[in-house]
Amino acid sequence: MREREEGSGKREAGRAEAEDLGLSSASQFPLPASRFPLPAIRMVGIDKSFGAIQANRGASLEVLPGEIHALVGENGAGKSTLMRVLGGLMKPDAGKVEVNGRDVTGWSTNDAIAAGIGIVHQHFMLVPTLTVAENLVLGCEPKTRGIVLDYDQAAQDVRQLSSETGLVIEPERLISDLSVGEAQRVEILKVLFRGARILVLDEPTAVLSPPEVRELWTVLRRLREKGDTIVLITHRLDEVVDLSDTITVMRAGQTVARIKTSETTPAEIARLMVGREVSLSAGKRVQPLGRPIPAEPGRGLTVQNLSIVGSRGIRVVDDVSFNVKPGEILGIAGVEGNGQTELIEAIAGLRPVAKGQILIDGVEITRRSVANRHDAGLSHIPEDRHRRGLIMEYTVGDNLILGLQKHFSKNGIIDGGRVMEHAIEEISTFDIRPPNPLLAARTLSGGNQQKVVVAREMGRTFSVLLASQPTRGVDVGAIEFIHQELLAARAEGKAILLVSAELNEVLALSDRIAVMYRGKLAVVMPTADATEEKLGEYMIGTKKGNAA
């Protein structure tokens, strides 16, 4: 009886897998399962949802022992959720997890650690006031006579592991004295110390400088030689191509492909990551405006030699110059994390500028306040509506005046009647549902929340618009609508800076396209000359730019 149940479970799992296969062409799936009967990790048909959000929808993953496997996908594609399921931090709603051939679905974190799975998180989980050795032995301390921490033993253990793996670090140093790269080495040592043979690294290079990245690569290759299995979560394609043996691509909670690195190109990976499902405007190109806006010098947005220093003292935006003319959309493409966020925040006044100038219609605003920039004609659709764009507990009506408070108040008192009229007008213009200005923004769906932001930012008087990921997490109908609005604003002679992770969106809306790579504009080209392949090469840095 029991066996039969298990058997049918397998068949079901097999079906789910077959469905996954259906998502991509067969050639991308050299399924190794038959040749290697015991994959180190095998996850099939994983479903996991949080409330209304489905983070994983039948996702699958297969990693062979002794390989470096890259798990790639855009933010929110479900990579981290899948890894949390693997690590026992979450239980899947459906699906099956096997480690070394053993069914471990729904296990606990302790089980996962005991089975040799070690997850190195993006954010370090180290005690800064303790030494390296103390951190490593935390929870499994060697003790003399069962009571006193045997510090020398701990330090010796750490040294030995250090020399075996090439993760060189002095066991006596305090965590708080370490650089980020060194702290990460300690994190990796920590999981190895607990006997991990399957390592999962979540965005390990996000915080590292290029030399630190090279060191990390050396270590990971050495671990592979030792026979360890490594899963590398990343969305930087150059890393994937550099290091991995095989690649799993995820998009929107599903596994869309499993590819051998040697048999693919970065352009193909990028295409799979970004996907074609929402490409309703793929292949479309904007026509140049019939009646060009007279090019008065200095109108629009001008950025000159802008540099921004990030939290770690690294230049996240490095000497960037460009201008956006009235009636023009300049699209910025690029893999996320190459400085786009910082660039937009600096122009919006939310991040200090290290060097350079920002001008709106010829007026310098580099050090002005946010409110001052609004007055100068700046409007901004922020990339993160939950954090910046909306106050979730405020009503839709109140959110529609965020940043416009002073225009809706007299003698310091907000004119509730006018707020209401304004809300009702914007709600019907932008078809925000449910059409009730008194609902808290929190209660709206993601698409309608974004419409509130777009309605507010496009409804005000402005001459320059920053549109950052304007259609992220928005349904297809709303995407089309927001695109129409952006094009209408362009026709009215607004200067629009568009940043989007959706290559198709950038291609469909922009007059010119810039690619941002490692804090610089790698290239600026007219959209007519741009193709996905061309842009892709600049995005992953295989082609270096012409632009300063």
Partner 1 sequence: MTASSAPIPGQKFSSAPPPWREHAEEALIPPLVALLVALICGDLLILSYGQSPAAVYRLLLEGTWGNAYGFGQVLYKATTLAFTGLAVSFGLRAGLFNIGGESQLAAGGFAAALTGLVLPAATPLALALPLCMLAAGLAGGVVGSVPAYLKTRFGAHEVIVTIMLNFIVLALLNWFIAGHLHVPETLHTPEIHAGVLPRLSDINPTFHGSAANLALVVAILVAVVVWFYLFRARGGYDLRAVGLQPDAAEYGGISVRRVWLRALTLSGVIAGMGGINYVLGYKHYYEDGFASGAGFLGIAVALVGRNHPFGVLLAAFFFATLSQGGLAIHAFVPKQMMDVLQGVVIIAVAMAVPEVTRILRSARRRSDA
| Interatomic CA distance for residues 43 and 547, integer angstroms | 44
Out of 433, 526, 531, 544, point to the residue binding partner 1 (CB under 8 A): 433
* Interaction between residue 449 and partner 1 (CB under 8 A): no
461 is an interface residue for partner 1 by CB under 8 A: no
CA 71, distance to chain mean position in Å, is: 13
Q: Please, what is the minimum distance in Å from the beta carbon of residue 416 to partner 1?
A: 7
- For residues 69 and 240, what is the distance between their CA atoms, to the nearest angstrom? 9
Nearer to partner 1, 439 or 524 (CB): 439
Least distance in Å: CB of 375 to partner 1? 9
- Asked if 363 interacts with partner 1 (CB under 8 A), we say no
Nearer to partner 1, 53 or 391 (CB): 391
Region of 377 on the Ramachandran plot (φ > 0 left; ψ -120 to 50 alpha; else beta): left
Q: Considering the complex, what minimum distance in angstroms separates the CB of residue 388 from partner 1?
A: 4
- Alpha-carbon gap, residue 28 to 285, rounded angstroms: 30
Which residues within the stretch 364-393 sit at the binding site for partner 1 (CB under 8 A)? 369-371, 373-374, 380, 382, 387-393
Nearest-angstrom CA–CA distance, 387 and 400 = 16
Assess 531 for contact with partner 1 (CB under 8 A): no
Tell me if 324 contacts partner 1 by CB under 8 A.
no
Q: C-beta of 475: minimal distance to partner 1 in Å?
A: 15
Residues 6+ apart with CB under 8 A from 85: 43, 46, 48, 56, 91, 92, 95, 97
What span, in angstroms and rounded, lies between the C-alpha atoms of 310 and 320?
15
Report the site for partner 1 in 271-300 (rule: CB under 8 A). Answer: none
Tell me how far, at minimum, the Cβ of 493 lies from partner 1, in Å.
24
User: Residue 259 or residue 348: which is nearer to partner 1 going by CB?
Assistant: 348
**Class of residue 180 by CB neighbours under 10 A (exposed 0-12, middle 13-18, buried 19+):** middle
Does residue 354 bind partner 1 (CB under 8 A)?
no
Q: Quick check: 440 binds partner 1 (CB under 8 A)?
A: yes
Is residue 327 within 8 Å of residue 494, measured between CB atoms?
Answer: yes
User: Taking each helix axis from N to C terminus, what angle separates 180-193 and 151-165, rounded to the nearest 10 degrees?
Assistant: 100
What does the alpha-carbon distance between residue 85 and residue 108 come to, in Å, rounded to a whole number? Answer: 9
Residue 438 sits in the site that holds partner 1 (CB under 8 A): yes
Q: Nearest distance from residue 366's CB to partner 1, in Å? A: 17
Q: Does 405 bind partner 1 (CB under 8 A)?
A: yes
Per CB under 8 A, which region of 24-32, 89-97, 323-331, 418-426 contacts partner 1? 418-426
d(CA 413, CA 5): 68
Site for partner 1 in 333-352 (CB under 8 A): 348, 350
Q: How far is the CB of 106 from partner 1 (least distance, A)?
A: 23
CA distances from 370 to 235, 366, 374, 394, 526 (A): 32, 10, 6, 21, 31
Backbone angles phi, psi at 296, to 5 degrees: -70, 130
Binding site for partner 1 (CB under 8 A): 348, 350, 369-371, 373-374, 380, 382, 387-395, 398, 402-403, 405-406, 409, 412-414, 416-417, 420-421, 424-425, 428, 433-436, 438-440
